[in-house]
Amino acid sequence: MSMRRNGKKRARSETPGSTAHPRNKYSDNPPDFASLASLYPSFKPFVFFSGGSRPRIDWTDYNATRELTRVLLLHDHGLSWWIPDGQLCPTVPNRSNYIHWINDLLSSQIIPSSRGNNKVKGFDIGTGANCIYPLLGASLFGWSFVGSDITDVALEWAEKNVQSNPHVSDLIEIRRSRIIPSEDDVTMVLLGVVKDNETFEFCMCNPPFFETFEEAGLNPKTSCGGTHEEMVCVGGEQAFVTRIIQDSAVLRERFRWYTSMLGKKANLKLLISKLWEVGVTVVKTTEFVQGQTSRWGLAWSFVPPATRKIIAPTPVSKSSLLSFMLEGIKRQYSAADVLLSVEEFFKSCGASSKLNSNTFSVDIVASSEQCNTITNRDDVDSVRSHGSSLQGPQDDLSFRILVFQQMPGTLLIKGSLQHKDSPLSGLFSVVFGSLEESMKSKFCR
């Protein structure tokens, strides 16, 4: 998750795909409009060539964005695709980020799979006429899907897009959701759509972000279309994702992972608190950035997480003072950002932490179970511990992390063990090593 400093959102690079998923083929190679225009005559009228600058398209032209999506799906994924006027037109690079993140979740094994045949089945809530997620998931990874929706147009065109691609059509089922008659005409999300005894590896959703159709049209820089049903619901995305959470609390382990995209970072905190209230075991978040567009991913599970037993290092590793350097720090980050990230690293694993901004230090107290969670940080953002601990304070691992500015772009991170006689002191180097790996991955070029 991105950091804030002095209440200001850090600036994002203007390079398209600057922080896209590393396995997204567009992360370092944004679409070449000139090449696509030469290969696909239907796309050429939408491309503008001006002097020595890069060719561009008019992002406010719905026909241009729709044709770009069509040629990218055909050129890069071998998919035949179309949608009628007015239906939500997805951007392929942005949607690819979400699909690759789902694959990361499934590959991490922090939540073990119950399927012995390694076949992955996903559920796309509100697949739309575009059916983009099932098509990408089936073509990239061979996943099978159920895609749900409520309108006749969405169901008809989603089915057309599936049948237009016989090489993946057997993997995708389009299913109708029903509307529960009420004052607000609530749409069924998972309950009533998922069949009895049906299980899935994951669900995903691009929810209606907005509370009103007027709010949905406030961005004058893009034109991706979208019907009222695709863009708007009472209470906006917060209310819609809350309904997914409520359904997940009933279905629980019938899904290995529940996930949703969010358009507003401000909604994350409230939704995460709702997740802990319904008893989830794991929460994971991420940020999707593609060009000038930011979205956030939220994932959770009710399946008990897999854990690796930590073997304490030999006595030679029981150093009470450890350190590492962060060199080549990305320009947008400061020592304050790193300090906050150190605190969040341990807090999200359940450890007690106390940050002192005057001394640029964080005091940490972690139990053996929390140490085990910390060493799995590459797999999970937040894990809820099971059961109560009978350990006394003397049995916890207590240490202090300090952040020192060495020179521009370089920080020194020091760790000092507070109670050397603790039974967990041998784990200090393991925990500190996990911190080093996480900080270097996040902040260094």
The owner of tokens 């044709």 is 67
Domain 4-301, CATH: 3.40.50.150
Q: What's the CA gap between 389 and 401, in Å, rounded?
A: 24
From residue 166, alpha-carbon distances to 95, 159, 170, 268 in Å are 22, 12, 7, 39
Q: What's the CA gap between 171 and 400, in Å, rounded?
A: 52
Residue 86 has pLDDT above 80, yes or no: yes
Please write the tens of the pLDDT for every residue from 215-224.
Answer: 545 444 455 6
pLDDT given at position 117: 64
Q: What's the CA gap between 256 and 299, in Å, rounded?
A: 10
Helix (H) / strand (E) element for 192: namely: none
From residue 53, alpha-carbon distances to 34, 56, 261 in Å are 11, 9, 34
Length of the chain: 445
> What are the two backbone dihedrals, phi and then psi, of residue 230, each rounded to the nearest 5 degrees?
-80, -30
Please state which of the ranges 64-68, 135-139, 160-164, 381-385 shows the lowest mean pLDDT. 381-385
- Angle, helices 152-163 vs 132-141, to 10°: value is 20
Q: What's the CA gap between 252 and 138, in Å, rounded?
A: 25
pLDDT given at position 122: 98
**Residue 81 near residue 157, CB atoms below 8 Å:** no
Residue 7 has pLDDT above 60, yes or no: no
pLDDT given at position 211: 59
Helix (H) / strand (E) element for 411: namely: strand 410-417
Please write the tens of the pLDDT for every residue from 340-367.
Answer: 999 999 988 888 999 998 888 999 998 8
- Angle, helices 428-443 vs 335-347, to 10°: value is 130
Query: What are the residue boundaries of the structural domains of the chain, listed by start?
Result: 4-301, 315-380+392-443
pLDDT given at position 385: 40
- The pTM (predicted TM-score) of the whole model is 0.66
Specify the pairing of strand 397-407 against strand 410-417: antiparallel
**Identity of the highest mean pLDDT range in 227-236, 239-248, 422-431:** 239-248
**What's the topology of domain 315-380+392-443?**
TATA-Binding Protein (3.30.310)
Q: What's the CA gap between 227 and 126, in Å, rounded?
A: 12
Which among 10, 27, 26 has a CA at the least distance from the CA of 18? Answer: 27
pLDDT given at position 184: 53
Residue 415 has pLDDT above 60, yes or no: yes
Q: What's the CA gap between 23 and 20, in Å, rounded?
A: 8
Specify the pairing of strand 121-125 against strand 56-57: unpaired
